[in-house]
């Protein structure tokens, strides 16, 4: 990874905190398609499909118009059609592709194990695609989607939300300098006390679900893969049922330990039995640590680390005995207006920024922030983690398989 040199970073430090100000698409309504809103079909109108539809309808109306809703459940279809005025309902995605002649893009939000055929059919039909992650539930399916996307004539984007997140991009600009420097260790957690459904629901079916490592951890794993520009080579895992003794086989609490080739390790813990701490990732370096929590981010500098030049102007927050420098997109602009504290935290959900990036990629003819190859590799890492949790053994992650994506 070619990092910025220290002199260049210091020269531009004042502007680094404002790097996000040059991207107007972080504001709602700023993404516009050249020929007007693109006609979009949503395939899968469960929890995630509804969430994405709300983002499209409420914040991206100048970029997208939901014209079709597809789901195997008629009640869900009717709910989606009722939410998206003027849209058509379908029980099969192939019927939607055949009958909606002006369909420009498809959002795939079905259960993970159903992604492959839908994605391949949409690519073959020449549609732009935004696919939820995990990309698939097997490495074979991940590679099939990724290879098809490489030859696609349209944009194929994946919901790797960290890569479109303004705060995560800003933090990465610091990470790629010696502001953080050599890694000590990495940590991530995802705590949310919830049931995840009942026995028989696909999330709890070990034959098709990647469990907590895939359905909750993958987005976080991808952040580390993206920042480090490399992938772990092995993972160990453990899992247990700590709360939901309802006959399920899927662990409701897991711990994974990933190892990179340079011996840097990532500890990941996830649970459906406790909410304390929520969801975040931390990079511990010898000069500073960066903590990211999806809508917020902070940098904690070590007392003996060199000054970067901007600290005196930065907004700060106290965490017990530690003081964090708040990472704020548009910081310089807000500071000039005396509104720095108002910029703490993202005003919109991470899903919004990922969707906005998708339509921006279509409008500009560019690659999306999260490609099919990116999602395939991070999903394969999650598949290995799920296997480690299931078996209680160390699982190797073959770099040659990752290269194949």
Torsion sign across C-alpha atoms 363, 31, 136, 51: negative
Check if the beta carbon of residue 69 is closer than 8 Å to that of residue 41.
Answer: yes
Which of 226, 271, 184, 261 has its CA nearest to residue 373? 226
Q: Is the pLDDT of residue 12 over 50?
A: no
Q: Is the pLDDT of residue 88 over 60?
A: yes
Q: Which residues of 171-182 are buried (b: 16+ CB within 10 A; e: fewer)?
A: bbbbbbbbbbbe
- Distance, in Å, from the CA atom of 398 to the CA atom of 148, rounded to the nearest integer, reads 21
Instruction: Supply 86's token pair.
Output: 């003027």
- Distance, in Å, from the CA atom of 246 to the CA atom of 239, rounded to the nearest integer, reads 16
Q: Is the pLDDT of residue 79 over 80?
A: yes
- Distance, in Å, from the CA atom of 129 to the CA atom of 355, rounded to the nearest integer, reads 11
pLDDT given for residue 262 in this prediction: 97
Write down the pTM of the prediction: 0.89
Check if the beta carbon of residue 332 is closer than 8 Å to that of residue 15.
Answer: yes
Q: How confident is the model at residue 336 (pLDDT cuts 50, 70, 90)?
A: very low
Q: At 129, give phi and psi (nearest 5°).
A: -130, 135
Which parts of 178-312 are beta strand (E)? 183-191, 234-240, 253-259, 265-271, 279-285, 288-292, 297-301
Q: Does a cis peptide bond (omega within 30 degrees of 0) precede residue 357? A: no
Instruction: Supply 216's token pair.
Output: 């909750």
- Position with higher pLDDT, 329 vs 29: 329
pLDDT given for residue 11 in this prediction: 34
pLDDT given for residue 354 in this prediction: 98
* Structural domains of the chain, with CATH: 6-21+165-348+378-391 (3.30.360.10), 25-162 (3.40.50.720)
Check if the beta carbon of residue 219 is closer than 8 Å to that of residue 48.
Answer: no
Q: How confident is the model at residue 32 (pLDDT cuts 50, 70, 90)?
A: confident
Q: How confident is the model at residue 325 (pLDDT cuts 50, 70, 90)?
A: confident
Q: How many CA atoms lie within 13 A of 162 on its CB side?
A: 24
Among the residue ranges 112-116, 166-170, 273-277, the one predicted with the least confidence is 166-170
> What distance lies between CA 301 and its chain's CA centroid?
26
pLDDT given for residue 314 in this prediction: 62
Kind and range of the H or E run holding 302: none
pLDDT given for residue 224 in this prediction: 98
pLDDT given for residue 15 in this prediction: 36
What does the pLDDT look like over 56-73, one tens digit per residue? 999 999 999 999 999 999
Let me know the angle formed at the C-alpha of 403 by 398 and 405, rounded to the nearest 5 degrees. Answer: 110
Q: At 109, give phi and psi (nearest 5°).
A: -130, 30
Which of 162, 166, 184 has its CA nearest to residue 327? 166
Cα distances (angstroms) measured from residue 59 to each of 87, 269, 292, 309: 18, 33, 24, 37
Could you tell me which residues come within 8 angstroms of residue 325 by beta carbon, excluding any fewer than 6 positions away?
298, 299, 300, 301, 311, 314, 315, 316
Q: Is the pLDDT of residue 249 over 60?
A: yes
Mean pLDDT across the chain = 89
pLDDT given for residue 345 in this prediction: 77
Among the residue ranges 193-197, 256-260, 299-303, 343-347, the one predicted with the least confidence is 343-347
What does the pLDDT look like over 152-168, one tens digit per residue? 999 999 999 999 999 99
Check if the beta carbon of residue 292 is closer than 8 Å to that of residue 171.
Answer: yes
């Amino acid at each position: 990874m070619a990092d910025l040199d220290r002199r260049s970073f210091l020269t531009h430090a004042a502007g680094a905190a404002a790097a996000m100000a040059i991207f107007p698409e972080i504001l709602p309504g700023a993404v516009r398609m050249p020929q007007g809103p693109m006609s979009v079909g949503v395939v899968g109108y469960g929890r995630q499909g509804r969430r994405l539809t709300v983002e499209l309808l409420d914040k991206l109306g100048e970029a997208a118009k939901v014209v079709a809703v597809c789901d195997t459940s008629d009640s869900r279809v009717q709910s989606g059609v009722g939410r998206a005025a003027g849209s058509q309902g379908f029980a099969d995605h192939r019927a939607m592709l055949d009958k909606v002649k002006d369909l420009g893009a498809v959002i795939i939000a079905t259960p993970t194990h159903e992604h492959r055929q839908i994605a391949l059919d949409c690519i073959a039909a020449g549609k732009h695609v935004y696919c939820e992650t995990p990309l698939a539930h097997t490495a074979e399916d991940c590679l099939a989607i990724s290879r098809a996307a490489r030859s696609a004539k349209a944009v194929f984007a994946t919901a790797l939300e960290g890569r479109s997140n303004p705060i995560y991009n800003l933090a990465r600009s610091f990470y790629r300098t010696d502001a953080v420097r050599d890694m000590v260790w990495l940590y991530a957690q995802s705590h949310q006390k919830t049931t995840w459904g009942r026995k028989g629901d696909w999330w709890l079916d070990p034959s098709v679900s990647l469990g907590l490592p895939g359905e909750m951890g993958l987005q976080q794993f991808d952040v580390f893969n993206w920042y480090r520009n490399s992938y772990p080579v092995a993972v160990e895992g453990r899992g247990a049922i700590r709360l939901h003794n309802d006959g399920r086989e899927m662990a409701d609490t897991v711990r994974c330990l990933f190892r990179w080739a340079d011996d840097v390790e990532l500890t990941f813990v996830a649970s459906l039995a406790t909410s304390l701490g929520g969801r975040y990732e931390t990079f511990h370096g010898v000069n500073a640590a960066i903590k990211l929590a999806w809508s917020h981010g902070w940098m904690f500098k070590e007392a003996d680390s060199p000054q970067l030049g901007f600290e005196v102007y930065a907004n700060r927050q106290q965490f017990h005995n530690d003081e964090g420098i708040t990472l704020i997109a548009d910081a310089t602009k807000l500071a000039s207006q005396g509104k720095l504290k108002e910029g703490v935290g993202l005003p919109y959900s991470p899903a919004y920024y990922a969707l906005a990036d998708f339509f921006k990629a279509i409008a500009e003819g560019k690659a999306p922030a999260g490609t099919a190859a990116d999602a395939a590799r991070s999903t394969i890492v999650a598949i290995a983690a799920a296997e480690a949790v299931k078996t209680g053994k160390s699982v190797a992650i073959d770099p040659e398989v990752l290269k194949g994506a």
